[in-house]
Amino acid sequence: MSFQIVVLGSVVPDPLQTLEPVATPQGPGLKNEQMLPNVLDPWAGHALYEAANLAAKTPGSKVTLLALGPKAKLQQVMMAVAQKVPFELVALDGPAGGFTDAHEVSAKLADAVKALPGLDRSKLLLFGGWESASRGAGVTLAMVGERLEIPDQFQGVDQIAPKPDGSFEVLERVEGGKHQVSVCKGAPAVLGWATGNLPEPKNNPQVGMANMRLVMPALQKAVPAAVSTGGVEFVSVQVPKAQRETRIVKDMSPEDVAKEIVAWISQD
Amino acid sequence: MDTILLLTHAEADGSVPKAALEALSAARTLGAPVTAGVFGGTAEKAAASLAGHGIQKVLTVSGPAFAEPRYATDAAAATGLAKASGATLVVCPATSRMARVMAGVAQRLGGRIDTHVTQLVNEGGPAAIRWYYRQRIEAKLRRKERPWVLLVDPGATAAAQPEGSDAPPVEAVAVAAPEARTTVSGVRAPSSGEQTIRPDAKLLFVAGAGWTKKQPDGKPHPDRAEALILAFLRASKASLGSSKSLVDQAGEGQKVFEFMSHLNQVGQTGATPRHPKGLSTCCHGEEPHVVGWRFIRERRAVNTDANCGWARGKADVVYVADAFAVMEKVNAILAAKG
């Protein structure tokens, strides 16, 4: 049994950057947004690495990364991501900011999935992050799945285990640090990944060279995908004051520190 | 004027999730009449427990086909209830079960959805407050599109308390269960059985990668670290969080704690738990981790580095000390207190 795994994912500002909202004619944005270094969204990254891992275990499978983002940012990020695992890129050239409307984004992505050459729904697994580090709503992937009329969706996925008959077991995060265990009869299905269980793959120059032969043409062919803030009216957008007056305690014995901590955690 | 549907699943035992009562509390602030919609294996107990909350009517979809938390059947039930209610605002608790289906349901309803709502406000119309960029930017937003589905984060609002009004009438809604291609076989604890994630705990205890690093004697002591952490969790009933670097060690073949998994991870790619207090140990307090502490009100840290991230305005108190020594003493005091 092989799968056609389509991973939805885009770029987000590097988490180490300071983010400051600004008003733009198109709605809220980030200060110096074009200048901020970007990375592949962490959850989308987990989805991509899990997809590659699944494809490696199921011969004949193929991984496509479908990304909606500014072409220049995608190019910058793909230089790094392409070193990790084998995939084909399909790019849509449009804004990837957190304030864009998930409904508009999902419509563009669903159309792009439908237009993938040789798409076989009976083998389609639609992967992505269960959230993103930008909008962080956890709805885009689900709405793409719904637009594609995929009847089985899983969110907060940490594991997929394929079986010889084409079915697969899925572990989804539920309350209390546990996993719900489900068995799906087979593709098509939507899987929104949490962190999974895989580390970030090490750079592989051979994979990078093979990927980049396809990435650059894909970026050149990127279709414009204008998305906006949709029907959302942002009343206010701000960074809350988070700076605390930190008391730094040095030269206190472990016993005294322990007493202070116990007293503190014992207070209501 | 908007009409509100409080839409929730019933728990496996038939009760209403606590998070649903919190969502009800948020919905009430909008000042519009509230109808409730409940789906699950059985909905009678849940419907009865909504008595006294000023709810006008309870709509239910129930039956064995709707017992399992599964996208196909849950989405059908939720869509049926939303349509039957005719509500313009659909307020839901952001439980894992509701979060799995409501984006798809909003799509089926031709509506819009916003999630991770921390507050609903009535300013001549409903507005929602939520966070962007992993709890770094807070926005208040309005929408004209209806129906507007809103998922309220658990723990963001106090649960609604009954006020003594009559039990609302209950009305069953007929929904045909679609073919289920997915079977739910149960729930599995991810680790060795030690319960370390406690969403209702008063304290979040975060262990960073420093617990597995070389100690002053030049050797790492992961077994001792494991014993200290577990002893503290058992005595304090705290919930265990972790930095990404520590849980990632599992995939890199390094020694990791048996009870620790990615589910414990707090931060940029982990959880954003809600606890009144948080104690960080052997963790540098880097920004990608600390964004997961947005809803931890009181924060203290134990670290040997006086210049760590926690000391730069991210914690209330930073103890510059050896966490091994401190936690051993803490455990001794807690043990003596019984």
Ordered DSSP codes for chain A: ---EEEEE--EEE-TTS---EEEETTEEEETTTTTS-EEE-HHHHHHHHHHHHHHHHSTT-EEEEEEEE-HHHHHHHHHHHTTTS--EEEEEES---TTS-HHHHHHHHHHHHHTSTT--GGGEEEEEESS-SSS--S-HHHHHHHHTT---EEEEEEEEEE-TTS-EEEEEEETTTEEEEEEE-SSSEEEEESS-SPPPPPP-HHHHHHHHHHHHHHHHTPEE-----TTEEEEEEEPPP----PEEE-S--HHHHHHHHHHHHH--
| A106 has pLDDT over 90 | yes
Closest chain B C-alpha to A211 CA, distance in angstroms: 24
Q: Which residue has the higher pLDDT, B251 or B258?
A: B258
Whether A236 and B262 lie within 8 Å, measured CB to CB? no
pLDDT confidence band for B335 (50 / 70 / 90): very high
Contact B127, A235 (CB under 8 A): yes
- The partner residue sitting opposite A16, judged by closest CB among B131, B288, B314, is B288
Mean pLDDT of A147-167: 97
Confidence class for position B164, pLDDT limits 50, 70, 90: confident
| Reported confidence tier of residue B248, pLDDT bands at 50, 70, 90 | confident
What are B114-151's pLDDT values in tens digits? 999 999 999 999 999 999 998 889 999 999 999 999 99
pLDDT bin (cut points 50, 70, 90) of residue B252 is low
Which chain A positions have a beta carbon within 8 Å of B20's beta carbon?
none
Q: What is the pLDDT of residues B20-63, one digit of tens each?
A: 999 999 999 999 999 999 999 999 999 999 999 999 999 999 99
* Res B240: pLDDT: 94
A21 has pLDDT over 80: yes
Interface test with chain A among B105, B132, B302, by most A beta carbons within 10 Å: B132
In a mutagenesis test of the B interface, which of A173, A190, A191, A248 is the best target, namely the one with the most B β-carbons within 10 Å? A248
Interface touch B184/A155, C-beta < 8 Å: no
- Return d(Cα A85, Cα A201) in angstroms, integer: 7
State how far residue A234 is from chain B, nearest Cα, in angstroms.
4
Write the residue in B188, B319, B337 that is nearest to A181 by C-beta.
B188
How confident is the model over A140-157, as a mean pLDDT? 98
Between chains, do B107 and A146 touch, taking CB under 8 Å as contact? yes
Nearest CB partner across the interface for A173, out of B131, B263, B325: B263
Distance from CA of B55 to the nearest CA of A (A): 27
pLDDT given at position A15:
83
The mean of the pLDDT values for chain A is 95
Residue B251: pLDDT band by 50, 70, 90 thresholds?
low
d(CA A13, CA B256): 30
Tokens of A262: 């116990």
Judge whether residue B193 has pLDDT over 60: no
pLDDT above 80 for B190: no
The whole-angstrom distance between B169's CA and the closest CA on chain A is: 31
Distance CA B208, CA B288 (A): 13
Residues of A with CB below 8 A from B184's CB?
180-182
- Check whether A197 has a pLDDT greater than 90: no
Provide the CB-side half-sphere exposure for B310 (13 A, CA).
29
Q: Please tell me which residue, B272 or A92, carries the higher pLDDT value.
A: A92
- Cβ distance A258 to B250 less than 8 Å, yes or no, reads no
Say what the ipTM of the complex is: 0.94
Residue B253 pLDDT > 80, yes or no? no
Confidence of residue A250 (pLDDT cuts 50, 70, 90): very high
Please say if the pLDDT value at position A31 is more than 90: yes
Q: How confident is the model at residue A198 (pLDDT cuts 50, 70, 90)?
A: confident
| A17 has a pLDDT exceeding 90 | no
Asked if residue B255 has pLDDT above 70, the reply is no
Please state, for a pLDDT cut of 70, what percent of chain A lies above it: 100
Q: Give how far A17 is from chain B: nearest CA, Å.
A: 9
pLDDT tens track for B289-321: 988 998 899 999 999 999 999 998 999 999 999
B195 contact residues in A (CB cutoff 8 A): 176-177
pTM of the entire structure? 0.91
The predicted-structure confidence for A76-96, as pLDDT tens digits, reads as follows 999 999 999 999 999 999 999
What's the mean pLDDT when you consider all of chain B?
93
Q: Considering only residues 274 to 303 of chain B, which have any Cβ-Cβ distance to chain A shorter than 8 Å?
A: 277, 279, 286-288, 291, 298-300, 302
Residue of chain B minimizing CA distance to A130 = B100
Residue A172 to residue B329, Cβ atoms within 8 A = no
CB pairs under 8 A between A and B: 279
* pLDDT bracket for residue B200 (50, 70, 90): confident
- Mean pLDDT, residues A216-230 taken together: 96
**Smallest CA–CA separation between A217 and chain B, in Å?**
31
pLDDT of B192 higher than 60: no
